[in-house]
Chains A and B, each alone.
Chain A
Amino acid sequence: MSEVQGVNMVKLIWRTFWILLVVTIVEVTAAISLTGHLPQMILNTFYILMSGAKAFYIVSVFMHLKFEVKYLMITILLPMLFLMFALCVFLAEGNSWHHLKNY
């Protein structure tokens, strides 16, 4: 890895840290102040998107995946995307069980 990339890496690492910190603070503030005032589904979508964004930053910068060979990225990201999709599907599934339960 070139020294040029090395010089920018430390800055990138700290910048990513600040992004993660700000996103977490926004999430927690939203959770505390907006629960009950906004429909839960909107809040949940927001949390899932924000957590997805954090995950993206951790995997691509901290785990360095952004700088690896593209095909390696794909073999790892596709299963992860599938898992996130499955999480959303089963959220909906749980909801449907709830409706089915109420006689």
Chain B
Amino acid sequence: MAEATLTAGAKPSIWSGGRSPFKVSWGKLMMWYFLVGDSFSFASFLITYAALRFSYESWPMPTKVFESVPFLEGVKVPLGFVSFMTFTLIMSSVTMVLAVHYGTHEGNKKKVAKWLFFTIIGGLTFLCSQAWEWTHLITEGMTMSGNPFGASAFGWLFFTITGFHGFHVFTGVCINSIVLTKVTNGDYDRKGSYEMIEKIGLYWHFVDLVWVFVFMAFYLL
């Protein structure tokens, strides 16, 4: 089937072997397919959320539950803090794309390091914000088995899904930090390719992408 028997003028099929049919490296392709698989995991959680949430008579109103802001006691800004978190994550995605761009187009070690550093800062800011949000909700009485806002499922769904996402942000920050060390050491200059930045960039954008849907599910619907 995959016989690359060439007659005069016949082009070998891209599936004949010897090169990537999709013109990407194995590492990048496998990262893509890992992300597709991970999407299924997140999707299963979000689908559970969607099905359960609409089966209840009443559900906590996001604009009422999520209105606190750190450092401002008593000030109510509905959905304010989570908007800040969304902005932070999107911003860190932009800095990540720039890091990838300067790596693959210019091989510019300094710029890659700078933008990757900003990405890590963005990720850490998001994690700290999420930690604050969790602490705040727990002190208000929200647990895995009940909450003062309404249906008890709200609690465990919120903590499980944002926790699973937060874990991904955490591993992303760890991997980014390791790669940043390697960048400043000049490992990728020696290797001749900044493709590793592309691959972790894909992971980071995936984390941002999932947040778009988690944000939509919990805070908007």
Contacts and interface: CB of A to CB of B under 8 A. Distances in A.
Interface of A: 1, 3, 6, 9-10, 13-14, 16-17, 20-21, 24-25, 27-28, 31-32, 35, 43-44, 47-48, 50-51, 54-55, 58-59, 61-64, 68-69, 71-72, 76, 79-80, 83, 86-87, 90-91, 93-95, 97-98, 101-102
A28 B67 CA distance: 12
Interface string B181-206: 00000000000000000100110011
B101 A20 contact: no
B213 A28 contact: no
A87 B46 contact: yes
Contacts of B55: 94-95, 97-98, 101
The interface centre, meaning the residue of A6, A16, A51, A93 with most chain B CB atoms within 10 A of its CB, is A51
Interface residues of B, number: 53
Contacts of A17: 90-91, 94
Contacts of A3: 105
Contacts of A69: 21-24
Given A6-B101, A87-B46, A72 B61 contact: no
Given A32-B79, A47-B216, A95 B54 contact: yes
Interface-centre pick from A25, A63, A64, A83 (highest chain B CB count, 10 A):
A63
